[in-house]
Amino acid sequence: MARPARNQSPSESGAAPAKREALAEPGVVVAAFGRSFRVELAEGSEIDCVTRGKKSDVACGDHVRIVQTGGGGGVIEAIEPRRTLFYRSDVRRQKLIAANVTQIVVVVAPKPSFSEDLVNRCVVGAEHAGIAALIALNKADLPEAQSALEGLELYRGLGYKLVSLSAKRDLTPLVAALDGHVTVLVGQSGMGKSTIINGLVPHASARVAEISTALGTGRHTTTHAELYHLGGDSHIIDSPGLQEFGLAHLTPQDAGNAFIEIRPWLGQCKFRDCLHLSEPGCAVTQAAADGKISERRLVSYRRLVAELTRKPDWK
């Protein structure tokens, strides 16, 4: 005699996914930390959510559909199609930074000194993702600022926006550039990203402290990505400080296209498979020798491609 089928829970039932989808409501991820997320619902309230299963590929700024649970939390059931995704990667994993952004602002400062190679990698990551990039020199009131600004003029010459400001005194130079954008702030620790956020969003400091307490970190430094509304259709995402920016998801060809001053010379080298490292007849090398490509940027490109192809002897 066949054993009677036991009653199935919603999670076991074959109809469960469809049922959950019917119950799901839209939201936007406004904070991402580890495998838990804070989601803002359509009416403006926020709810703490987790993903179903162990894998987490949700980013701050994602538009999602969630199902509320009895304990006052929720489960993210689906991620809506993204317009853009800004992330970094190494050979082992990817680190999602922000989704659906239209602009990145790379924050640098004259003190502590910043890594130009990291700036290049952030800009290259943005180019590859189809996201506009702006460079903001903070702490412009310091004596070392003029020298830093002169070094950054290279990027203005390439067509990138460049602003200088002192976040503790006046954010006006940056504010206009944020209008109508979903912006993510990126940069090394100590550049002043949190000062910028606190100046733009008065309640940000209290909100960071609240989340730090909830997470048990006891720290008010940015340890997670968080989205703030600036009004209208302008929003900004703060992200943790960077010490490195891996681009393992790029191919050498991707890198060549993402360094915008190299693009015009692609396909003009003697060898079709030229990586523009030290090959003979390289049009990119010749362009640099003729002063048409910055040697500083070319060094950064070659360092990246050597990393992608594991060619440490490109010099």
- pLDDT higher than threshold 80 for residue 22: no
Residue 21 has a pLDDT of 66
Residue 219 has a pLDDT of 43
Structural domains for the chain: 23-79 (2.40.50.140), 85-238 (3.40.50.300), 252-309 (1.10.40.50)
pTM of the model: 0.86
- pLDDT higher than threshold 50 for residue 6: no
Residue 52 has a pLDDT of 87
Residue 263 has a pLDDT of 96
- pLDDT higher than threshold 80 for residue 108: yes
The pLDDT tens digits of the residues spanning 79-97 come to 999 999 999 999 889 999 9
Using alpha carbons, list the distances in angstroms from residue 106 to 113, 138, 242, 259: 14, 10, 11, 16
Average pLDDT over residues 223-233: 90
Residue 162 has a pLDDT of 97
Using a pLDDT cut of 90, give the percent of the chain over it: 77
Nearest to 235 by CA among 109, 98, 126, 133: 98
What value does the mean pLDDT of the chain take? Answer: 88
The residue assigned the tokens 């590859």 is: 128
Residue 193 has a pLDDT of 94
- pLDDT higher than threshold 50 for residue 14: no
Greatest mean pLDDT among 50-54, 234-238, 239-243: 234-238
The pLDDT tens digits of the residues spanning 257-277 come to 999 999 999 999 999 999 999
Are residues 50 and 73 in contact, defined by beta-carbon separation less than 8 angstroms?
Answer: yes
Buried b (16+ CB within 10 A) or exposed e, 27-60: bbbbbbbeebbbbbeeeeeebebbbeeeebebbb
Residue 222 has a pLDDT of 57
Average pLDDT over residues 273-292: 96
Average pLDDT over residues 7-34: 66
The pLDDT tens digits of the residues spanning 192-206 come to 999 999 999 987 764
Banded model confidence at residue 143, pLDDT cuts 50, 70, 90: very high
Residue 17 has a pLDDT of 61
| Nearest-angstrom CA–CA distance, 102 and 211 | 26
Using a pLDDT cut of 70, give the percent of the chain over it: 85
The pLDDT tens digits of the residues spanning 43-75 come to 999 999 999 877 779 999 999 999 999 788 999
Average pLDDT over residues 171-183: 96
Residue 10 has a pLDDT of 34
Residue 211 has a pLDDT of 46
Residue 213 has a pLDDT of 46
- pLDDT higher than threshold 60 for residue 13: no
